Amino acid sequence: MDLVTQYIINALSLGGVYALIALGLAIVFSIFGFINFAHGELLTLFGYALFFSLAAGLPFPIAVVVALIACMACAIAMERIAFRPLRGANPMTLLVSSFAISGALQVIFQIAFGTMPKPLNLPNYLTGAFNIGGVYIGAAQLISIVTVAVLALALNLFLNGTRFGLSLVASAQDFDVAKLMGIRVNAVYALAFAISGFLAGVAALLWIAMRGSVSPDMGFNPLVKAFVATIVGGMGSLTGAVAGGFFLGILEVALQIALPADYLIFRDALILAILIGFLLFRPRGLLPAAAMPVK
């Protein structure tokens, strides 16, 4: 029973990280109609910002805040420099632009910081473990589950209870009508990217707490998993992105347990095969959006 509980916690913590990244992707997609593949580099940027903030002697909480601000600022800069000039362009053009930004940032990270992983000295409350009812739970896992729950609730309250949040929701449902109603387009664009940058930063912190280091390609693997989670959950659906992230985390941990050691190298391929089969029966995902973005 204790082992089952441990597996459930592992699945929830891993799925929570995927859910946060998928949520950042879904927010941008719900308004712009494209997946921002440079989102993974925001995770990497957070890691390096945290690394150098700690190296400069900043206390860990302040270093996290600095890294989050850097992550959000970079996301806003992406929108302002790369995507705003392409407003109204074909979504495929925006998609290609995001790939270009992703590749450019990876090269910059490699040239500036090297290709070797850089270990981070994390506080004990992120690397330790708790004994709850005979089950040892990693601090990072517990913090991951709690953080995802709190952020999901806070984001729901923000989107449904504030003027800026309602502007985002209205823009996601019908962007053209939202503009006619007087919603400030530039503010909505910047806010969407700022939120996605914040979510990427929090997800990066949880991911780093699990692996303990940062490297130029750190954001690639979780981004791909989150992209899959976004599709499985339902493109353009924020609730679906969260559901898809947890679904993928549970599936990944389940296969890690079920597959023999010699076949673990096929785990990701098997996950994709299962998800493709799932989409054949439910092509719009677990919780599809009520309406796709109208541009």
Distance CA 93, CA 51 (A): 34
Write the CB contacts of 82 (distance below 8 Å, at least 6 apart in sequence). Answer: 97, 98, 101
pLDDT, position 7 = 82
Q: Tokens 């530039």 identify what position?
A: 186
pLDDT, position 292 = 46
Instruction: Please state, in angstroms and as integers, the Cα–Cα distance from residue 157 to each residue in 161, 188, 215, following that order.
Output: 5, 17, 35
Q: Residue 61, Cβ neighbours under 10 Å: how many?
A: 9
Q: Quick check: 30 and 289 in contact, CB under 8 A?
A: yes
Mean pLDDT computed over 29-41: 87
Summarize pLDDT for 110-133 with one digit per residue, the tens: 999 988 999 988 887 777 777 776
pLDDT, position 263 = 83
pLDDT, position 73 = 96
Classify residue 56 by burial, with Cβ atoms within 10 Å: 0-12, 13-18, 19+: exposed
Distance CA 42, CA 46 (A): 6
Reduced to 3 states (helix: H, G, I; strand: E, B; else coil), residue 6 is: helix
> Helices 139-161 and 185-211, interaxial angle, to 10°?
170
Q: How confident is the model at residue 67 (pLDDT cuts 50, 70, 90)?
A: very high
Instruction: Please state, in angstroms and as integers, the Cα–Cα distance from residue 15 to each residue in 4, 180, 236, 257, 284, following that order.
Output: 16, 39, 19, 16, 20
Q: Quick check: 35 and 98 in contact, CB under 8 A?
A: yes
pLDDT, position 193 = 93
- For the chain, the average pLDDT equals 86
Q: Is the pLDDT assigned to residue 173 strictly greater than 80?
A: no
Count the helix, strand and coil residues of the chain and give each as a percent rounded to the nearest 5: 75, 5, 20
Q: Residue 184, Cβ neighbours under 10 Å: how many?
A: 13
* Amino acid at the residue 7: Y
Distance CA 171, CA 263 (A): 46
Mean pLDDT computed over 216-238: 88
Summarize pLDDT for 151-162 with one digit per residue, the tens: 888 888 888 888
Q: How confident is the model at residue 258 (pLDDT cuts 50, 70, 90)?
A: confident
Distance CA 234, CA 97 (A): 23
pLDDT, position 40 = 93
Which tokens sit at 105?
A: 């940032």
Q: Is the pLDDT assigned to residue 288 strictly greater than 90?
A: no
Mean pLDDT computed over 134-161: 82
Q: Quick check: 62 and 53 in contact, CB under 8 A?
A: yes
Listed as own residue / partner, the contacts of 56-61 with beta carbons closer than 8 Å and 24 or more positions apart are: 60/122, 60/123
Which tokens sit at 245?
A: 């992230």
| 214, HSE (Cβ side, Cα atoms, 13 Å) | 25
Instruction: Please state, in angstroms and as integers, the Cα–Cα distance from residue 14 to each residue in 37, 141, 160, 211, following that order.
Output: 20, 8, 27, 12
pLDDT, position 294 = 41
